[in-house]
Structure 1
Amino acid sequence: MLITAQFDSGNIEVVKAEDPAAIELKIRQDHQSDFYQWFHFKLYGELGTEHVMNITNAGGSAYPDGWQDYSAVASYDRETWFRVPTSYDGKTLTIRHTLEQESVYFAYFTPYSYERHQDLIHWAQQSSLVEHVLLGQTLDGRDLNLLVIGEPDERKQKIWVTARQHPGESMAEWFIEGMLGRLLDDEDGAVRKLLQDNVFYVVPNMNPDGSVRGHLRTNAVGVNLNREWQAPSLERSPEVFHVLNAMQETGVDLYLDIHGDENLPYNFLAGCEGVPCYNERHEKLAEKFKATLLAITPEFQTEFGYEVDQPGEANLTVASNAVAERFDCLAFTLEMPFKDNANLPDADFGWSANRSAQLGADVLSAVYAVANDLRV
């Protein structure tokens, strides 16, 4: 029996792996940070034998409540990821699985590899609608990629979408893949109309260093990028620094920042109600955006989510708040679950990569609904 995490986004430490019925593991912390929750490892074991994997430090993770009613994902081919029996006793997360093949992968959520990220960028680059812009490089020397979709024109609305500031929230890049698939479909009439008057600026992965390192929430030096938007620096947060500079050059009329939530088993939007500039115009746009999503997909809901900030009390280091205030625009943080959508559960797959991608495509209908009213 062997357990390894020596690959892209791998994260696990082996404490004891002698008895298949009593494997002990620990999740490694993000580099220079106390955050940890993401895991991704490979098990070589005995066919037909139940393997019981105990992650003994789960109770001290960043979001321990997130383990309640959670099931890990597993895959034999790295394409199809299914849920496996998982339990949590307040301290230890226990994953059980009987091997059907010689080796199997386990992860916190379906991984989105750096190789697939590069494939996505260069697939999109083939479209005549797309300009691929290199914004800069990360602290580990990886590319920070921007896709500009549509013909830039100062008369058009500028719609910015960023994903995976928190690298362990891999569902965010699956969302982007689904959104791009629809945006670049030249037989989709709504998209063709949308691109007549709007330009999309999409950053599929804001944190490639953290993604490759197997981090939950931070970049190469332990910085939470979604708390850097008031004063980013090249030394701590070049990812935010470069994106914010590009936003300054283009302007922003609508901003979506795509995330995953460890605790809540729902898809929801967190708005920018607490920023100083928020007014009736923003409120009406937000209501229309949400109402459209509610009408087109049962995967979205508005009953459960984060507590709404009181006027003037927004944290302006957070991306959606900072961008809303700086550009006087509508901005949302969109959250998806690590668990399942409790309103539409799927026992086999839970919330999945495919469902994330479909939501990415569906969100464009909500963008279409508000696009003509974005500017004053």
Structure 2
Amino acid sequence: MKITSNFDSGNIKVLAASEPLDIQLEINKDNESDFFQWFHFRLESTPFLGHKLHINGLEKSAYPEGWDDYHAVASYDRQTWFRVPSHYEDGRLIIDFEPEFSHTYFAYFAPYSYERHLDLLYWAQSHDICAIETLGETLDGRDIGLLTVGEPEDGKKQIWITARQHPGETMAEWFVEGLLHKLLDDEDPHAAALLSKAVFHIVPNMNPDGSVRGHLRTNAAGVNLNREWQTPSLEKSPEVYHVLNKMHETGVDMYLDIHGDEALPYNFVAGGEGIPSYDARIKELEDTFKAALLTITPEFQDEFGYDKDAPGEANLTVASCAVGEAFKTLAYTVEMPFKDNANLPDPYYGWSDRRSYQFGQDTLAAIVSVVDKLR
């Protein structure tokens, strides 16, 4: 029997693995950080033999409440990820599993590899209306890639979308892949309507270093990028520094920052009601966008989510708040679950890469409802 995480986004520490029913594991912390929750590893063992995997020490993980009612995902071919029986007790996630094949991958959510990220960028570049630009480098020397979709013209709205500031939230890049496939479909009516009025600026992965390293929440230096938007620096957060500079160059008329939430089993948005410049115009844009998304897909809801900030008390180090305030614009954090959508449960797949992809397409369609009103 062998367990390894020596691959892109891999993360696990083996404590003991001599008996299939007593496999003891831990998750490594993000570099220079106490955050940990993301795991991704491969088990090599005997097919059709019962296995019990214990992931220990989770009472100290980033979001201990995220393990309640959570089921790990597994895959034999690294393409289809399905849920496996798991339960949380006494600070341990216990996975009961009988593999059908000799090699099985396990992960916190369906991984989105760095190679797939590069494939997405250069597939998008092959379309005439899409250009790729390298804004700068990460601390590990990887490119910070920006896709610009649409023909620049005076009067067009500037719509920005970023994803995976928190690298373990892989559903965010699956979301962007779906959105891009729809936006670059020259027969799609929503895309045509939007591109006649707007240019899209999309960063599919804000944190490629953390993604490759198998981090949950931080970059190579252990910095949470979604707390760097007030004073980003080349030394600690070049990813935010370069993206924010580009935003000031293009302007921003709408901004969506795509994330995943460990604890809440719903899709929801978090708005800018706490920023100093929040007013009736922004509220109307928020309400119009949410109403459209509620109409388009039953995957979205507006009953459960984060507590709303009191007026003037938004955290302006957070991307959506910082951008909403700087540009006086509609800015939302979009959240998807690691568990399942409790309103539409799927016991075999849970919330998944494929559902994230479709949610990205549905969210793009909802932008049609506000594009004319953005300024």
**Corresponding residue number in structure 2 for 1:276:** 276
Any runs of at least 4 consecutive aligned residues in structure 1 with deviations exceeding 6 A, and if so which?
A: none
**Corresponding residue number in structure 2 for 1:212:** 212
The number of residues matched between the two structures is: 375
Q: Deviations over 1:213-270 (max 9, x none)?
A: 0000000000000000000000000000000000000000000000000000000000
What letter corresponds to residue 243 of structure 2 in structure 1?
V
**Corresponding residue number in structure 1 for 2:126:** 126
Q: How far is 1:365 from its partner?
A: 1.6
Q: Deviations over 1:259-294 (max 9, x none)?
A: 000000000000010000100000001000000000
TM-score computed with the length of structure 1 as normaliser: 0.99
Q: How far is 1:302 from its partner?
A: 0.3
Q: How far is 1:190 from its partner?
A: 2.0
Aligned positions of 1:221-232 closer than 5 A: 221-232=221-232
Secondary structure of the equivalent of 1:369?
Answer: coil
Aligned positions of 1:246-261 closer than 5 A: 246-261=246-261
Secondary structure of the equivalent of 1:357?
Answer: helix
Aligned positions of 1:1-376 closer than 5 A: 1-375=1-375
Q: Deviations over 1:189-219 (max 9, x none)?
A: 2211210110000000000000000000000
Cα distance between partner residues in 2 of 1:331 and 1:8 = 32
Cα distance between partner residues in 1 of 2:287 and 2:23 = 49
TM-score computed with the length of structure 2 as normaliser: 0.99
Instruction: Tell me the percent identity.
Output: 63
Query: Which deviates further from its counterpart, 362-371 or 26-35?
Result: 362-371
Q: Report the aligned-residue RMSD.
A: 0.5
Query: Which deviates further from its counterpart, 233-242 or 83-92?
Result: 83-92
Q: Deviations over 1:87-129 (max 9, x none)?
A: 1014111011111111100000000000000000000000001
Cα distance between partner residues in 1 of 2:212 and 2:160 = 24
What letter corresponds to residue 17 of structure 2 in structure 1?
A
Q: How far is 1:9 from its partner?
A: 0.1
Cα distance between partner residues in 1 of 2:260 and 2:319 = 15
Cα distance between partner residues in 1 of 2:90 and 2:120 = 39
Secondary structure of the equivalent of 2:74?
Answer: strand
Cα distance between partner residues in 1 of 2:220 and 2:154 = 36
Cα distance between partner residues in 2 of 1:48 and 1:361 = 39
What letter corresponds to residue 307 of structure 1 in structure 2?
D
Q: Which blocks of at least 5 consecutive residues in structure 2 are unaligned? A: none
Q: Which blocks of at least 5 consecutive residues in structure 1 are unaligned? A: none
Q: Deviations over 1:149-203 (max 9, x none)?
A: 0012241100000000000000000000000000001001221121011000000
